[in-house]
Amino acid sequence: MPIIVNLDVMMAKRKISLNELSEKVDLTLSNLSILKTGKAKAIRFSTLDAICKALNCQPADILEYRDEN
């Protein structure tokens, strides 16, 4: 899939652990881990909003489009 999830990069830049982010955005560790590893098939805007607020970033800092060609 040409959508790349850079959540791990933003978490490293903000020096925040998966556990801490999970608490801040009220998302289970397993669901956040699925998103972080790029295995998620979808993300709710409300979840993206909460993550962006917690990491003080823009959606484009987390999601990236790469053409497969």
| pLDDT (tens digit per residue) in 3-14 | 999 999 999 999
Mutual angle of helices 29-36 and 18-25, in 10-degree steps: 110
How far apart, in whole angstroms, are the C-alpha atoms of residue 64 and residue 45? 15
Global pTM reads 0.89
Q: What is the pLDDT of residue 1?
A: 62
Residue 23 in domain: yes
List the alpha helices (DSSP H) in 1-69: 7-14, 18-25, 29-36, 45-55, 59-62
What are the tens digits of pLDDT across the range 23-61?
999 999 999 999 999 899 999 999 999 999 999 999 999
Q: What is the pLDDT of residue 34?
A: 94
What region, left, alpha or beta, does residue 61 occupy, with left being phi > 0 and alpha being psi -120 to 50 degrees?
alpha
- Domain of 54, CATH number, reads 1.10.260.40
Neighbours of 10 (CB within 10 A): 21
The number of domains in the chain is 1
Domain that holds residue 30: 3-58
